[in-house]
Amino acid sequence: MKYNLTDALEVLEQTPRTLKSFLGHLSDQWLYNNEGEDTWSPYDIVGHLIHGEKTDWIPRLKVILGNSKNKTFTPFNRFAQFENSKGKSMAQLLDEFSALRQVNLQTLKALNLSKTQLQLKGIHPELGEVNLSQLLATWVTHDLAHIAQISRVMAKQYKTEVGPWMAYISILN
């Protein structure tokens, strides 16, 4: 499937609603448990998505489209949520994510990007040269990956409880 902004917006617009529907009324057992040491809970994942809305997608888009000759992105702190989310409830995180995403998508839509602009390049600090289309496609796949991660983390809370059915539940293996 080739990148298409209209198709991408379908997922990007839906993600906040998906997360709110999925996580908005769950108990702490579901929200704060993870898969073990050095893994993330659904709460941590939503915090990570918020940090991305603030420091990744649109800021990097602006670097690519900007007038500066320096097209190198600021490194992304993949663990900032552990500090930034402290003291916030899941409801607060979901509302914050939704509000940030709405503003970011308004910004993206207002740019009315051309095919030429989608091929403009930036420099990822680890991956090297990337184009705007790749950045925006990654935004979509990043959302989907973390939705899948949330599902996996939650499913694994019952890994030992399902008994022999574990053989049929691929997400547990």
Share of the chain above pLDDT 90, in %: 98
The Cα 155–Cα 122 span in angstroms is 38
How many CA atoms does the CB half-sphere of 52 hold within 13 Å? 20
Instruction: Return the CA Rg of the chain.
Output: 18
Task: State the pLDDT at residue 147.
Answer: 98
Tell me what pLDDT residue 126 has. 96
Mean pLDDT of the 36-47 span: 97
Fold type of domain 5-172: Four Helix Bundle (Hemerythrin (Met), subunit A) (1.20.120)
pLDDT digits 0-9 by tens, 49-71? 999 999 999 999 999 999 999 99
Identify the sign of the CA torsion 94, 96, 102, 105: negative
d(CA 18, CA 41) in angstroms, rounded, equals 17
For the whole model, what pTM was predicted? Answer: 0.95
| Domain range annotation of the chain | 5-172
Identity (one letter) of the amino acid at 151?
Answer: S
